[in-house]
Amino acid sequence: MARSSRQPEPQPVGVSALKQVDAAALVGVSPRALRQWRDCPRNLDGTYPGPQLVAWLVEREGNRVRQRYEMTEEGMMAIDSGDPVLRRWRLAKAEREELALAVSRGELVPADMAQNILAAVASRLRRFGEWLGKRDADAAGRLDRTIAGAGDALERELGGDA
């Protein structure tokens, strides 16, 4: 006799003590998915209380939908616009959009990229200064002062450490 790969049909039982396969069929998931829900209601004997399981699932899914809705712009717009949290969220979103636009226009580069570029330029200038110092100490001193002045000007322009 050949074995069937089909799931066994749920058997009618009392709804207050459902076996795993019956409880899974009740809420429309696989027995494995039901087993993975650690916080779903269970009876002491390991069976599932049907009415409490359905109520738990409705609440769980409702919370998930509400969380997704509230994190969208439309959901945030539905919340009272006088809310300071909403104002902060809108400001943060606007700043993020402005930064993304500036990066896409090439007006900004990521800080680590800028730091790598400046480090490469500084390394080349140091090597050139060492080479020049071996040939003409006065010219190397003038170059050193010019570079230091340019570095100070850049730091002032950037408003901090360069």
Query: Is it the case that residue 8 has pLDDT exceeding 60?
Result: no
Residue 149 in tokens: 């002045």
Mean of the per-residue pLDDT values of the chain: 76
Q: Are 60 and 52 in contact (CB under 8 A)?
A: no
Query: Is it the case that residue 41 has pLDDT exceeding 80?
Result: yes
Of the candidates 64, 71, 62, 58, the one whose C-alpha atom is nearest the C-alpha of residue 28 is 58
Rounded mean pLDDT of 16-43?
88
Query: Is it the case that residue 100 has pLDDT exceeding 80?
Result: yes
pLDDT in tens, 54-67: 888 888 887 776 66
Q: Are 42 and 35 in contact (CB under 8 A)?
A: no
- pTM for this one? 0.37
Write the DSSP assignment of 51-97 as a string of letters: HHHHHHHHHHHHHHHHHHHHTSHHHHHHS-TT-HHHHHHHHHHHHHH
The Cα angle at residue 19 between residues 16 and 24, in degrees rounded to 5: 100
Query: Is it the case that residue 79 has pLDDT exceeding 60?
Result: no
